[in-house]
Amino acid sequence: MDGGRIVMDVPWTLWPVGRLTGACAVGHTGPVPTVYKSPRGQFAVQQWCSDTLARADFPLTTASVGTSVGRVSLVSAGHRTPQVVVVPGTNFNAAVTLPWLRALSDRWATTVVDLPGQPGLSDPHRPRSGRMAWYGRVLDEVLTAADLNRVVLVGNSLGAAVALAADSPRIAVRALISPAGVTRLTVDPTLALASARWLVRPTADHARRVLRSFVAPGEEPPETEVAWMTLVATHCHTTLAPPPLPPELLTRRTNRPCIVAVGEHDRFLPPQRLGPALARTMNLDLRVLPGMGHLTTPSHLDDVVSLVAEVADQPLG
């Protein structure tokens, strides 16, 4: 317990990963879990993503690259250097983070990666264990396959832990928002109960109640996220949030510039817990974004752009 909260490895949900297995993805040596509960569910989720991208009101470029674990989908926009690469959080992808892509691509060429093993347009398989090292290697492969150099790597939640796990020399700097991987996430019993109800009965009302814990008090979650999380609970097996990365790995990541921020109302990574952990492991000061929770809603994206600009607009080595 920590201040009346349970300190756990928690995801967007508190449900254990399902044990559904499927055909092996490229590079796997045996049956591995898939994010989807059924082929019909995979079609529904990927159709939602494709339709959402097709409705975008700004120019996008879609592509996929081959990796040792299968195809990885990329969605890009913008033209100005440097190259920003966004790695979304648990259960999120390029389609759900279109507001991020639009805001960042107004300033820099930006690419969003759909992580494999998460709902989206990439390969659905993931390993049973060692996922953070696995995700780090996959992201390294993606940067090489897409020929992305001197990258400003922007990670959100799970995506921040992946950004820290990756070790590619193509990464110039990191900007981490509400980062998993530094300290354990916390959850209170109210959210645990709301998450269980959402998973057992995946309705929009239950998804909305869960997502209210991810935004600041008095703020409503965007309806796009409500619809998406209803779809995820219906058709997907979610994953647990990662535990903290090894301290020696976090220390090594200080050899390149890194900036870290969290919302002042983040219930999963409260600033008073994350700040000391960040100072202890990476000797970095935590930026606290006013009025924001764990979920970065469109109203807070200007703060994210300003944070990224602090590293992206500096000369990159």
Res 27: pLDDT: 36
Is residue 9 scored above 80 in pLDDT? Answer: no
Mean pLDDT of 1-26: 32
Pairing mode of beta strands 109-113, 83-87: parallel
Is residue 273 scored above 70 in pLDDT? Answer: yes
Distances (CA, A) of 95 to 101, 113, 197, 250: 9, 10, 25, 30
Mean pLDDT of 67-79: 97
Mean pLDDT of 198-218: 94
Q: How confident is the model at residue 300 (pLDDT cuts 50, 70, 90)?
A: very high
Task: Please count the other Cβ atoms lying within 10 Å of the Cβ belonging to residue 15.
Answer: 17
Res 317: pLDDT: 59
pTM over the 0.75 mark: yes
Q: What SS3 string covers the chain?
A: CECCEEEECCCCCCCCCCCCEECCCCCCCCCEEECECCHHHHHHHHHHHHHHHHCCCCCCEEEEEEECCEEEEEEEECCCCCEEEEECCCCCCCCCCHHHHHHHHCCCEEEEECCCCCCCCCCCECCCCCHHHHHHHHHHHHHHHCCCCCEEEEEECHHHHHHHHCCCCCEEEEEEECCCCCCCEEECHHHHHHHHHHHHCCCHHHHHHHHHHHCCCCCCCCHHHHHHHHHHHHHECCCCCCCCCCHHHHHHHHHCCEEEEEECCCCCCCHHHHHHHHHHHHCCCEEEECCCCCCCCHHHHHHHHHHHHHHHCCCCC
CB of 166 within 8 A of CB of 172? no
Mean pLDDT of 170-184: 97
Res 24: pLDDT: 30
- Token readout for 307 is 């944070």
Query: Of 118 and 20, which is predicted with more confidence?
Result: 118
- What is d(CA 52, CA 231) in angstroms, rounded to the nearest whole number? 13
- Token readout for 91 is 């259960």
Pick from 43, 188, 51: nearest CA to 119: 43
Mean pLDDT of 215-227: 95
Task: Please count the other Cβ atoms lying within 10 Å of the Cβ belonging to residue 202.
Answer: 17
- What is d(CA 3, CA 113) in angstroms, rounded to the nearest whole number? 36
Q: Which of 123-132, 257-266, 285-294, 302-311 has the lowest mean pLDDT?
A: 123-132
Res 4: pLDDT: 35
**% residues pLDDT > 90 (the chain):** 81
Res 136: pLDDT: 97
Q: Which residue type sits at 96?
A: V
Res 20: pLDDT: 24
Res 32: pLDDT: 65
Is residue 309 scored above 90 in pLDDT? Answer: yes
Is residue 85 scored above 60 in pLDDT? Answer: yes
Pick from 125, 65, 116, 63: nearest CA to 88: 116
Residues in a beta bridge with 176: 155, 260
Q: How confident is the model at residue 186 (pLDDT cuts 50, 70, 90)?
A: confident
